[in-house]
Amino acid sequence: MIVLGDVEYYKGIGKIEYEGKESDNPLAFRYYNPDQIVAGKTMREHFKFAISYWYSFGGNGSDLFGDATQHFAWNEMREPILAAKARADAAFEFISKMGFDYFCFHDYDLVQEGKNFGQSELRLVTMTEYINKKISNSGIKVLWGSSNCVSNPRYMNGAATNPDFKVVARAAGQVKLALDATIALKVENYVFWGGREGYMTLLNTDMKRELDHMGQFLIQARDYGRSQGFKGNFLIEPKPMEPLKHQYDFDCATAIGFLREYGLEKDFKINIEVNHATLAQHTFQHELEVAAQSGMLGSIDANRGDYQNGWDTSQFPNNVQEITEAMLIFLKSGGLQGGGVNFDAKIRRSSTDMEDIFIAHIGGADTFARALLAAEKIITSSPYESLRQQRYSSFDTGSGKEFEEGKLNFNDLYAIAKENDEIELQSGKQELFESILNRYL
């Protein structure tokens, strides 16, 4: 069902359909077939594709060096509520034409922040009601909500970690309203991305105190959310830097350590963004693996960086090999726990046609679908799994097994070492693993 408001914004574009890989139609899926079952679930269920309200409907192509290139009607309106309603109409039209089920938002993506706290609160309540009606009429859902505690100048020294208590309390007030909107819209998860939680220089920073404040802030946010009936995940989205020199939620391992230290590990999981992983000098796969091992693989922000650029370019995913490696971890760990795949990606400044945002999302969805199909084949029809298991087979029986079970002490190991003086080298077979992967792409 296509959901239209008073105006049709994407004229001439209908519902995007699956046409199969032989199709030449740039406005059709070639791999993403929502109802096709792969590894026991439909693609729709595996991915829960979501669009990012901020990039798809908030952006206008402007960058540090130049003004807007994309002149969307909803961005040109002056009156904030009218503009916000038009933007919501465009968003629902777009999501329904894509055939996706979800979107993600920050509080002030839904409507422009007011001149003061009270005005912002009123605007948010008005837009929550408007969007709630559109949700009931369309069946489109919200994957996660969040709060923009980054853009307003008051947060220049941080939100939860600001050295000025008044700013910390203001951020809490803002998150409370965002949580209220989240609960009213039956949103499934709530994300914290600490864009300004970190430092530009340690010279002026009391890191221990700031981390304690962030812990306290998240404890109180969790307790408030739960007391209001929010049952979903809270998610931390790690990023090592940008806009700051150093962000406290540097990567998955750091964020998981932080959550455990403050007793938050039962309510929080991780939202992993591809380009944030690469900024932290990790692969996307590495971050998925770390989160999955701790039972915290919550959600994904899908995008990609650029090999030559060292910043968050947030481009739409198109690297099938990278995503296939990721899908191997995704499938083996049982998928995402409550989250989905949110396209936290923006079209380029020079992509100025109304169809470009469709083409971008189709390409992203097809990349994930194609990778999922390949990963499933690799797991079920190639020697990949058995080769991996074989590498560790010395732990399956005898002394190796006893070691794993904690039955051997250092003297036992010393005795075994003495007995096995000659150790035959075992090949790691990296090139074999790599060629197996490529065979299935």
Catalytic positions: 106, 109
Residues 6+ away with beta carbon under 8 Å from 408: 399, 402, 416
Question: Rule CB under 6 A: which of 226-255 touch ligand XLS?
Answer: 237, 239
Dihedral sign for Cα atoms in the order 272, 15, 62, 160:
negative
**Does residue 366 interact with Ni ion by CB under 5 A?**
no
Residues 6+ away with beta carbon under 8 Å from 264: 215, 218, 219, 222, 234
C-alpha 8, offset from chain centre: 29
CA–CA distances in Å: residue 391 to residues 155, 396, 417: 50, 11, 19
Minimum CB distance to Ni ion, residue 188 (Å): 16
Residues 334, 128: Cα–Cα separation, whole Å = 33
- Per-residue mark of binding to ligand XLS, 266-285 (x: CB under 6 A): -------x------------
249 binds, among Ni ion, ligand XLS, none (CB under 5 to 8 A by kind): none
Nearer to ligand XLS, 99 or 145 (CB): 145
Minimum CB distance to ligand XLS, residue 192 (Å): 8
Nearer to Ni ion, 337 or 399 (CB): 337
Half-sphere exposure of 201 (CA within 13 A, CB side): 2
Interacting residue with Ni ion among 188, 197, 273, 312 (CB under 5 A) = 273
The strand ranges marked E within 226-307 are: 233-236, 246-247, 268-273, 297-302
Nearer to Ni ion, 287 or 301 (CB): 301
Nearer to ligand XLS, 243 or 400 (CB): 243
DSSP bridge partners of 234 = 190, 268
**Does residue 301 interact with Ni ion by CB under 5 A?**
yes
Question: Rule CB under 6 A: which of 133-152 touch ligand XLS?
Answer: 146
CA–CA distances in Å: residue 216 to residues 62, 161, 190, 220, 223: 37, 10, 17, 6, 11
* Cβ–Cβ under 8 Å, residues 312 and 276: yes
Residues 355, 236: Cα–Cα separation, whole Å = 33
Nearer to Ni ion, 107 or 344 (CB): 344
* Ramachandran angles phi, psi of 257, nearest 5°: -60, -45
Question: Rule CB under 6 A: which of 340-399 touch ligand XLS?
Answer: 344
Minimum CB distance to ligand XLS, residue 201 (Å): 21
Question: Rule CB under 6 A: which of 191-210 touch ligand XLS?
Answer: 191, 193
Interacting residue with ligand XLS among 89, 301, 322, 366 (CB under 6 A) = 301
Minimum CB distance to ligand XLS, residue 158 (Å): 15
Interacting residue with ligand XLS among 180, 251, 312, 322 (CB under 6 A) = 312
Residue nearest to ligand XLS (CB): 193
Question: Rule CB under 5 A: which of 327-356 touch Ni ion?
Answer: 344
H or E segment and range at residue 125 = helix 117-138
Number of residues lying near ligand XLS (CB under 6 A): 10
197 binds, among ligand XLS, Ni ion, none (CB under 5 to 8 A by kind): none
Q: Which of 135, 155, 158 is nearest to 145 (CA)?
A: 135
Chain contacts with Ni ion (rule: CB under 5 A): 273, 301, 344
Chain contacts with ligand XLS (rule: CB under 6 A): 106, 146, 191, 193, 237, 239, 273, 301, 312, 344
